[in-house]
Each structure stands twice: as C-alpha cells, then as structure tokens.
C-alpha cells in the first residue's frame, strides 16, 4: 500500500497535460484561477492578458450556469412518492396531501442552502469548470470547500467512476500542532515554508463495505482523528467535469474548445495596443542646414514667437493606418465569435429574474452546450442533494424519508423548471378542459379543493390557514343556508305588510301584537 505522498506523485504524472492546458486557458481569461502545483500560495507574478473578452466570457457563462442549476427563486429538485407504491401502502387520495408536506421539506432544504455559503463556492467551481474543465468540492460540516486542479489528483475506472482522490494542501505546523521532521529538506523558492506541512487527504472507495473512506497524512503519518466514512450515494467529495472524453481521468473545459480564438485575439490585441502606442508618439525633425534652432524649438512654449522657417521642421508619423484597421476588424470578428460561444450576446440587466428568464437561459445553455446538464446532474446535483438531506436528517431539521417510498427528482434543466413546470401543466390542463368541454363540465368533473392543493404544492405555497378546510366550507354552507332562510322570512313579512290585514288602521289588533312583540324582544332597561 502506497503512502499518500507517493500515490499523489504517481497520479499527478497523468494530470500534467491537463494542468498545463488549464494554466494556459487561465492565462488567457482569469490568470488567478489555475496555477502551477508549486505556487499554492500565489507567490508567482501573474501575467495579465491584453484583452478582457476571455474574462467577461467566463464570468458571464458561470453566472448563467449558476442561475440554471441553482435558481434562487425555486427548488432545483422535487420530492415525490413512487407511483408504484400508491395504492399498495398509501391511499392515492392522499397524494396531494403528501405533495404539500414534501413542499414544506423542500422549502426547509432550500432555506438551509440559502443561509450557507454553498452558492459562492459553487459559482467559483463553475468558473474552474469552464476554464480548466475540472473542479473538486468537499461538503464538510462548516460548508463547502473547493479544490482547484493543481491541488488534487483523481483516478477513475474504465466506466469513468471515481475510485480514488488525493488532495494536497499546505497547512501551518503550528495549526496542526506537529514539529518538523528532523530530516527536513531545503526549501525551494516556491516550495513549502519552514512552518508549513504538506497535508495529503486520501479518499478511496471501499468495495467490501460499499462506502467511502478517507484520512489525512502528514510526513507519511496518519493524523489522529482524520479518519472518516460516508455512504456510497452520499459522498461529500464531488469530482466535477465540464466535458468528458472516454478513457481520461480529467475533463476538458469550454475555454479549451476556443483556445485558438483566444490566442489570436490576445495577439491581435497586443499588436493593436503596441502599435497605437507607437503611432501616438510625436517626434519633430529639424533639417541639419536649417536656421531654426532645435533647442529654441524645444524650449518654446505654447504661443511663443521664435525665429525660423516652417519648412525646416517636420513631424514623423507612422503610416500604418490601413494595417491597424485590418487587425482591428479581425479582432472584432474573433471577439464576436467568442462572445457568441460563451452566451454573452443576450444579457439583460434586471434586479429580479423571472422564472421565464431562467427557463430561456436553460434552453439557451442546453442548445449551446449539449448534454452539460446531464453531466452536472449526475456528478453534482444528485450527490449534492443527497448529502444535504443526510446532514439535515442527522441534525433532525427534516424528517427521515423512507428511500423505498420517497425519492428526489432533479428538475433543473431544459425539461422542466422546478415546480413551475407542474404549475404550468396543471394550469394548462384546467384551461383546456374549460375551453373544450365548457365551465359546467369543468365544475362537474374537476374537484376545486384538489386543484387548489395541487396548485399550491406546485408553487411551494404553505396553505395552512390560507385555504379553507372541508369542515370550514360545510359550516359556511350551513350559515349561508340559514341566512337565506331568514332573508326569505323577512321578504315574506315585507310583502304581507302591504295587505289590509296587516294595516293597523284597518286591524287594531295588529298594533297591539306588534307592540307586545317589541317589548319581548327589547332588552330590559336599567
């Protein structure tokens, strides 16, 4: 069994080409993202590109991906009862009630995510995915932690499943509470400092137990208390890729697909900047046989009067205007092509993002990036949701759901938009029934209370004390019937009042009976 340090060195040999490509992609877009393995503390001077198109493209695409997979105003998943279990262990009539309960659990999960730093870390990981094609996220007790490509190595099996992960970090020995080894090697220019230790985290899949196991090593020794385990379907280690190639342990980024255009644009931008700098320089030439003195000309201020002839003085100009125009036109063409590839052309600045905008963004991403959603669903959303639910269940913040009866369904992507798709489908169904069969058939065959429950569940609304219960509706109906009967008696009395029998002038007994009735109804006077 290899030590973590040795295993990491073995795995990094297969990572070299991917890391070199990622560094070049980072240099053309966001130079601070990916660095060399020996520059973990950022001591190298970063070279900035001559254009900002690459940075703008990466930031915009990362923001759109963030909006698509973790929309801020709706859940990216849906808890639902297995259809084959309805009628066996649960009454089908309870489905709407179960959906309402599930919507409450979903809101609790989304509130937990909103209060954490998960979105910040995920957004950072998305930028790394676009640039380098790889990212590693660890879901710890204190929140998410992201590892760039230069700080971890991974090994996969023939099917692309992760079987081992090793990370490398520099941590102060004072923090770890360990002393340096006696055979400490000399420190290089960009290597670990004297008080820093290389901490290796080794994560492996234990096939015998079907769970993930990991520990940390320093100086080839296992740190006390660093061992931990996790279920196979709820691993806190999420290894993400942007594009996959069969047989490769690492992914390919979006920037790599357009690195030729970025190289050309950066070179043209450099030429335009340097050429413009040269063209803007003004140099005056004075003829050697001229009577005009160069010193007098140089010292003369604005509006000064000196002796000389105008033909003795000339100006050196760079006659490359046509060449500059050609380079500028080519640079504009490449820039437009890059912006279209990274979906920067259609941007709307607004304080609020509607559900329709999220749906259109997802459609745009799916059409431009192919099966990216499918890959992110398998490698990020499902493990992320399973791990989050496990953490909340262990802390008793949400109830434990039986896996054999309830399963979460990822609804982020092109096929549906959270619960908005259920809402839209249900609304369209009710409208279609009313338009085709008429309102009478709609009221006859569609249960209004059930429709209200499903609409509320589709929108994630808590109907407690909002929608009347059947008991309240029955009481209201009885009260309405009683009020209608009383009103009918009043109307009848009013009609009889106009008859001769009820006229006191013609029937004196009526006045006496009315006075007696008033005395019986009126409250006693104190």
Q: State the pLDDT at residue 519.
A: 57
Tally the C-alpha atoms within 13 A of residue 388's C-alpha that lie toward its C-beta: 22
Task: Let me know if 388 is exposed, middle or buried by CB neighbors in 10 A (0-12, 13-18, 19+).
Answer: buried
Using 50, 70 and 90 to split pLDDT, how confident is the model at 363?
low
Domain extents in the chain: 4-252+357-374, 259-341, 470-521
Chain CA centroid to CA 246, Å: 27
**Per-residue pLDDT at 25 exceeds 80:** yes
Q: Which of 60-64, 172-176, 346-350 has the lowest mean pLDDT?
A: 346-350
Write out pLDDT tens, residues 373-407.
778 888 898 889 988 998 899 889 998 888 777 88
- 97-109 average pLDDT score: 83
Angle made by CA atoms 49, 52, 55, in degrees to the nearest 5? 95
pTM for the whole structure: 0.73
Q: Do 379 and 242 contact (CB within 8 A), yes or no?
A: no
Q: State the pLDDT at residue 238.
A: 93
- 325-353 average pLDDT score: 78
Q: State the pLDDT at residue 495.
A: 54
Q: Is 275 helix (H, G, I), strand (E, B) or coil?
A: helix
- 506-526 average pLDDT score: 56
**Per-residue pLDDT at 497 exceeds 60:** no
Using 50, 70 and 90 to split pLDDT, how confident is the model at 268?
very high
Chain CA centroid to CA 413, Å: 12
User: Mean pLDDT across the chain, nearest whole number?
Assistant: 79
Using 50, 70 and 90 to split pLDDT, how confident is the model at 85?
low
Work out the angle between the directed axes of helices 448-459 and 95-115 (0-180°, nearest 10): 20
Using 50, 70 and 90 to split pLDDT, how confident is the model at 17?
very high
**Dist. CA 490–CA 38, nearest whole Å:** 94
Pick the closest to residue 175 from 151, 189, 196, 147 (CA basis). 196
């Amino acid at each position: 069994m290899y030590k973590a340090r040795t295993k990491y060195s073995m795995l990094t040999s297969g990572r070299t080409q991917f890391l070199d490509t990622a560094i070049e992609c980072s240099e053309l877009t966001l130079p601070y993202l990916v660095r060399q393995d020996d520059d973990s503390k950022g001591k190298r001077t970063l070279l900035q590109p001559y254009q900002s198109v690459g940075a703008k493209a990466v930031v915009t695409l990362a923001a759109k991906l963030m909006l698509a997979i973790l929309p801020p105003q709706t859940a990216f998943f849906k808890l639902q009862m297995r259809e084959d279990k309805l009628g066996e262990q649960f009454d089908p009539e309870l489905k709407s009630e179960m959906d309402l309960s599930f919507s409450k659990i979903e809101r609790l999960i989304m509130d937990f995510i909103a209060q954490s730093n998960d979105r910040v870390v995920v957004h950072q990981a998305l930028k790394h995915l676009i640039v380098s094609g790889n990212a590693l996220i660890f879901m710890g007790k204190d929140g998410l932690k992201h590892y760039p490509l230069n700080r971890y190595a991974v090994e996969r099996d023939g099917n692309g499943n992760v079987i081992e992960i090793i990370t490398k970090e520099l941590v102060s020995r004072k923090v770890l509470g360990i002393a340096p080894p006696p055979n400490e090697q000399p420190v290089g220019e960009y290597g670990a400092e004297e008080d820093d230790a290389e901490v290796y985290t080794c994560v492996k899949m234990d096939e015998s137990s079907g769970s993930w196991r990991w520990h940390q090593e320093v100086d080839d020794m296992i740190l006390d208390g660093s061992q931990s385990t996790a279920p196979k379907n709820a691993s806190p280690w999420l290894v993400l890729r942007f594009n996959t190639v069969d047989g490769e342990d690492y992914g390919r980024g979006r920037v790599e697909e357009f690195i030729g255009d970025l190289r050309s644009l950066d070179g043209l931008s450099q030429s335009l900047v340097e050429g413009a700098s040269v063209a803007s320089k003004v140099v005056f030439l004075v003829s050697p046989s001229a009577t005009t003195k160069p010193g007098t000309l140089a010292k003369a201020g604005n509006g000064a009067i000196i002796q000389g002839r105008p033909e003795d003085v000339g100006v050196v100009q760079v006659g490359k205007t046509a060449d500059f125009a050609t380079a500028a036109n080519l640079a504009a063409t490449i820039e437009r092509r890059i912006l279209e590839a990274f979906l920067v052309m259609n941007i709307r600045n607004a304080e609020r993002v509607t559900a329709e905008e999220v749906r259109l963004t997802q459609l745009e991403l799916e059409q431009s990036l192919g099966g990216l959603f499918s890959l992110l669903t398998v490698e990020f959303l499902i493990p992320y949701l399973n791990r989050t639910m496990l953490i909340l269940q262990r802390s008793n913040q949400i109830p434990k759901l039986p896996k054999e009866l309830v399963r979460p369904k990822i609804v982020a992507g092109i096929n549906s938009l959270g619960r908005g798709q259920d809402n839209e489908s249900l609304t369209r169904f009710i409208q279609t029934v009313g338009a085709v069969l008429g309102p009478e058939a709609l009221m006859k065959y569609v249960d209004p209370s059930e429709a209200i429950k499903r609409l509320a569940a589709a929108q994630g609304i808590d109907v407690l004390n909002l929608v009347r219960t059947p008991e309240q509706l029955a009481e209201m109906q009885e009260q309405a019937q009683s009020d209608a009967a009383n009103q009918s008696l009043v109307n009848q009395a009013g009609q009889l009042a106009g008859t001769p029998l009820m006229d006191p002038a013609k029937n004196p007994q009526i006045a006496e009976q009315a006075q007696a009735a008033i005395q019986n109804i009126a409250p006693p006077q104190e």
